[in-house]
A and B are shown apart, each in its own frame.
Chain A
Amino acid sequence: MSVAAPAREQTRARYPDAEGYVERDGVRVSYEVYGDAPTTFLLFPTSPISHSRLWKAQIPYLSRYFRVITFDPRGNGKSDRPETPEAYSYWEYVQDGRDILEATGTETALLGGICDGGGWALMLAAIHPTAALGVAAIAPCVPRLTPTHPNHLRYPSDVPLDTDEGWAKCNVHYWRRDYRGFLEFFFSQQIPEPHSTKQIEDCVQWGLDGGPESLVLCDEEAPAPFATEEEARELMGRIRCPVLVVHGELDGCQTRERAAAVAELTGGTLVAFEGAGHLPQARHPVKVNELIREFGQSLERRTM
């Protein structure tokens, strides 16, 4: 997959005030910092299927109230594309977030994330409670916590199939054959709200900025972060900071059951979005921005 052909990035509403890399075990991870407010809001990316631009509707707004830090995941954007499965373990992403906090001189931060990134933010809060003021997670993916969404179970993902129909596209052989075709299908499923062409095009482009190999390594070959449901539950139960979970009822990637389990185990609040899919931060940016700002500010005040 060539990265040479991406469309020129569209004009941003806000450009970063600082950029940098953290490097660990030879893997460089790119981050961006917006604004200089006293409280930091670290927004995790998701898997290499996308990169930090997925927060584009949040950054300009939130950076007026918080110092917003975003980063590109291993395998996409301006971060490196390591070639071993171990480099794509969930725990590596968690540690990347932690390294970036340290690199930017941040002792405590609000954490945000979507899908895998929501899981990473929660994991960081669980293992470093002093670093996390609160976690806002959209459709968090915490593997094993609950059964995987049925969409991901319709076809085996690692053996050649005799069909490309629907969720059969979620297959490493198809990825390598027609990555764009997969991205177009996948994001159409994840943004099922009518009139979402621009959001789908954005996501496809961000996916193409990465490529199938990183996704194969991350989604298929990387070691699992926990072995059992009990481990996942135990980890969520360790979270002490306030948690906000947002979940769209039409989400085709993460189940409501999983979102509800995160809310229950962390003592958090669940905001259910009716008529919304997996990516409300893109499709319902005003409501999501308001929720995240309110959540962030409620915690900021409490720590004054």
Chain B
Amino acid sequence: MSALELAGARREQTRARYPDAKGYVERDGVRVFYEAYGDAPTTFLLFPTGPIAYSRLWKAQIPYLSRSFRVVVFDPRGNGRSDRPDTPEAYSRWEFAEDGRAILEAVGADTALLGGLCHGGGSALMLAATHPAVALGVFTIAPFIPMLTPEHLNYRMFPFDERLETDDGWAKWNHHYLHRDYRGFLEFFFSEQLREPHSTKQIEDCVEWGLEGSPDALIISRAAPPPWEGEEDARALCSRVRCPVLIVHGDLDGCQTRERAAAVAELTGGTLVTMEGTGHLPQARQPVKVNGLMREFAESIVPPKPKVKTWTRALSRPRRALYISSPIGLGHARRDVAIAKELRKLHPDLEIDWLAQDPVTRVLEAEGERIHPASAELANETTHIESESAEHDLHVFQAIRRMDEILVANFMLFLDLVREEPYDLWIGDEAWEVDYFLHENPELKSAAYVWLTDFVGWLPFEDGGEREAFVTADYNAEMIEHIARFPRIRDRAVFVGNPDDVVPDRFGKGLPRIRDWTEQHYDFAGYVTGFEPVTDREQLRAELEYASDEQVCVVTVGGSGVGEDLLRRVIDAFPETKERVPKLRMVVVAGPRIDPATLPSHGGLEVHAYVHDLYRHLAACDLAVVQGGLTTGMELTASRRPFLYFPLRHHFEQNFHVHHRLERYRAGRRMDFEVDGPDEIAAAIADEIGREVDYLPVETDGAARAAGLIGQLL
């Protein structure tokens, strides 16, 4: 593997959980890298598979399991941060099993639960067979025990070492093809192993992990000495396993056969769980189900500490709702609080708990709302989104895709919570994890559920090419199929807006028009501003100490750090703007994540880290300069203030959905960060400041309407 190829690998996406310890074990000069998560008394060692992937393949399990177990994972010889030895002997199956044992020793675990997938499932079983005192139990997915049963037909279609005349299909599983087009092989191979529709992200992950290894490691490990002579040895090995065994096998597995999984179950006296409609990698594609199976299996062997639990008779339960408020875009917080207040008017006995994270929790705390303590354990989405942004650029669709690990982790937390505490109603405002995984695991729905959103449909940018058009359409298609197949999941789907706010586009090639579909599947609450409209603007200006003859321009980029480039550019425009608008008073609000001291200063320019009740300043100003977010845009629209807005590059929601809505209201002037420099900004400010607007009015009863729709379920 050349350094050049390695350098081309994408930055690892944000994890939901980072290791508490890491290290290497070294055997015969080969260093193997491991990570340990959590400090629970029982260790759960998860074997990697062969060098085609590495420890990240457990990314959907680690955050969940490490809340109950000390989870230890490692990278296989030939991939990840482990060495790439160059002799076939170093890749013997026994070496992988022994690496696992050496790691247990290194972390001081005398006994452990063992887990493994494919090759790693075999390694876990080998360790359990040869070191029965170590293994408390083995959880395997599609275990690969060589020679136990005939190899999967896919591997027998073409000879591995010969030069072939074709590259079609399984002819790619060939020494020469691997060298010629390793990525092509990985893309084919993982598409065959993740046969479930809508698996683009899981396939991309696997290809990425494969590329961190190399074709050489795959070829050399295939040439490793066999671990035993034949079928009888393989059977004898399985029979030596004394601990409980659970085998998971997907019926669409294109790597390990059902026959093999069944043989392992029979010989070990284990339980076989067949997952129908599922391929070779259910831990990635069906993470919620697999996580549940793993934890149940582990707890059947190592029961959790006794504790006091409570169950409340149904008619003795207080009426309770759990409100899950998305932190992506702080705007949700205020509207959710407004809806919650209206809900309490309808149901004064209703108790509302919030599952939310920073910065939403700041608003909730200020409002005296009850934040569920489990909120503290949520993996942070805002930090991830910020880490995905560049200069005035946030590819929000990719950022959400690259948040998949966080979404699984946070869904598992939600699931544990609602299993312990009964709620009458779950309300998810763009709570993507709750909505997606409930549709993937419909049997887990145990309360009424309301979904709220202010946009429908993932939309591609042209510069994303055909791939982005395909993937956004694929996401939309899965969502449409979810709703069609399980209409019982969303008891209400509430669109925060009106039918005209929905974009006219299609969900993708061959898919319905977004507006038609949304009108059929949503109720419309109208827009929810979350504040009372200002009635006396002169009075407000006086309170904020804005003189009546000043031309106040407020510049704000919301609560994230993504907006610094825009702030700088507007500040650069200040001198010229001041010349054109002599009465100008420019107020720049940097927000909590940008240090005002790092911004350039000009005489007469005010820069604040924070202003209380920003919406009041926006209602009082003569012009605002903002990003393209919905909340701020609609606040300005409701307050009838002129404004310039700069959608973030590659932010489909700001560029398409919000833009469409503001156009409908005839609100704001759209600017373009690509082309609009200080001169253009100064000119636009001069044009727009103080202008009388002819915006459509924004309704003020949105929160009450939303609460009315939700309250019917209580």
A contact set with B: CB distance below 8 Å: 193-194, 242, 260, 263, 267-276, 284, 287, 298, 301-302, 304
Contact = CB atoms under 8 A, between A and B. Distances in A.
Given A301-B244, A304-B244, A304-B269, A271 B310 contact: yes
B312 interface: yes
A150 B306 CA distance: 28
B302 to A, nearest CB: 9
A194 B312 contact: no
B538 to A, nearest CB: 56
11 contacts: A193-B315, A242-B303, A263-B308, A269-B306, A269-B307, A274-B311, A274-B316, A276-B313, A276-B316, A284-B313, A302-B300
Interface of B is mostly: mixed
Contact of A274 (B244, B269, B310): B310
A135 B387 CA distance: 53
Nearest to B306: A269
Contact of A275 (B306, B307, B308, B312): B312
Given A260-B308, A274-B313, 7 more contacts: A268-B306, A269-B306, A274-B311, A276-B316, A284-B313, A301-B300, A304-B244
A272 B301 contact: no
A298 B307 CA distance: 16
A269 B300 contact: no
B316 A275 contact: yes
A272 B306 contact: no
A268 B300 CA distance: 15
A166 to B, nearest CB: 24
Interface string B280-316: 0000000000000000000111010011111111011
Contacts of A301: 244, 300-301
Given A298-B300, A298-B303, A193 B313 contact: yes
A270 B309 CA distance: 6
B244 A273 contact: no
Contacts, number: 54
B306 A267 contact: yes
A66 B676 CA distance: 76
A276 B307 CA distance: 19
A194 B315 contact: yes
Interface residues of B, number: 17
Contacts of B313: 193, 273-276, 284
Given A194-B315, A301-B244, A304-B269, A271 B309 contact: yes
A298 B301 CA distance: 8
A272 B310 contact: yes
Given A298-B300, A302-B300, A272 B311 contact: yes
Contacts of B269: 304
Given A263-B306, A269-B307, A301-B244, A274 B312 contact: yes
Interface in B172-227: none
Nearest to B300: A301
Given A242-B303, A304-B269, A272 B244 contact: no
A148 B469 CA distance: 73
Contacts of A284: 313
A287 B306 contact: no
A73 to B, nearest CB: 28
Nearest to A300: B300
A275 B309 contact: no
Contacts of A287: 311
A251 to B, nearest CB: 13
Contacts of B244: 301, 304
A256 B39 CA distance: 33
B306 to A, nearest CB: 4
Contacts of B316: 274-276
Contacts of A298: 299-300, 303
Contacts of B307: 269-270
Nearest to A297: B300
Contacts of A302: 300-301, 303
B136 to A, nearest CB: 11
A274 B101 CA distance: 47
B308 A270 contact: yes
A277 to B, nearest CB: 9
A274 B300 CA distance: 27
A260 B307 CA distance: 10
A297 to B, nearest CB: 8
Given A267-B306, A268-B306, A273 B312 contact: yes
Contacts of A273: 310-313
A222 B636 CA distance: 83
B68 to A, nearest CB: 15
Contacts of B306: 263, 267-270
Contacts of B311: 271-274, 287
Interchain residue pairs A-B with the least CB separation, the first 4: A275-B316, A275-B313, A274-B312, A269-B306
A243 B352 CA distance: 35
Contacts of B312: 273-275
Interface in B104-141: none
Interface string B370-391: 0000000000000000000000
A270 B308 CA distance: 5
Contacts of A193: 313, 315
A104 B518 CA distance: 65
A122 to B, nearest CB: 15
A263 B305 CA distance: 12
Nearest to A247: B308
A272 B310 CA distance: 5
A116 to B, nearest CB: 23
